[in-house]
Structure 1
Amino acid sequence: MSISSPPTVLDGRLFATIPEVAGILGYDERTIRRGIRDGQIPATQVGATYRVPVAWIRAQALVDTPSGSAA
């Protein structure tokens, strides 16, 4: 079994909307907005909205939860 990448709706795109990011990563939209505001999530402002790089989303979707130090 292989790890799948984020939904194909993002294939060929460079950026995703906040609702898309929230759905893919499993967080509330307010949490995503807070991460952008605090500088933890890279984003580009387009008018009154923000777009998050798909490459960053893919990297986050493939990261396992930390299980301690790699010693």
Structure 2
Amino acid sequence: MTIMASPILFEGRLFATVSEVAEVLGYDERTVRRGIKDGQIPATQVGVTHRVPTAWIRAQALVDGAA
């Protein structure tokens, strides 16, 4: 996994949109949605959209940076 943008972008926010997660992780939105559906990416459904906790994105950045 390659972190494309700094998770600092989400500072002060609790959740990010699917499109924001896709941009940061360097995936397309379909891949992120599939990860959410498969339970690989934690998300909360808000109406018909999903929101991913920014804490999870930051944790992925730390894991990726430590590797």
- TM-score normalised over the length of structure 2: 0.82
Q: CA RMSD in A?
A: 1.9
Give matches, 1:1-71, under 5 Å. 5-8=6-9, 10-64=10-64
Q: Secondary structure at the match of 2:7?
A: coil
Code of the residue aligned with 1:31 in structure 2: it is T
Runs of 4+ in 1 over 3 A off after TM superposition: none
How far, CA to CA, are the matches of 2:20 and 2:30 in structure 1? 13
Code of the residue aligned with 1:24 in structure 2: it is V
How far, CA to CA, are the matches of 1:7 and 1:26 in structure 2? 16
Q: Unaligned regions of 5+ residues in structure 1, if any? A: none
What's the CA shift for 1:35? Answer: 0.2
Work out the percentage of aligned pairs sharing the same amino acid. 74
Code of the residue aligned with 2:20 in structure 1: it is E
Alpha-carbon displacement from aligned partner over 1:24-55 (angstroms, at most 9, x marks no partner): 11111000000000000000000000000000
Q: Unaligned regions of 5+ residues in structure 2, if any? A: none
Q: Rg: which structure is higher? A: 1
Tell whether the 8 Å contact from 1:5 to 1:62 is kept in structure 2 after alignment.
no
What's the CA shift for 1:21? Answer: 0.3
Code of the residue aligned with 1:6 in structure 2: it is P
Q: Secondary structure at the match of 2:50?
A: strand
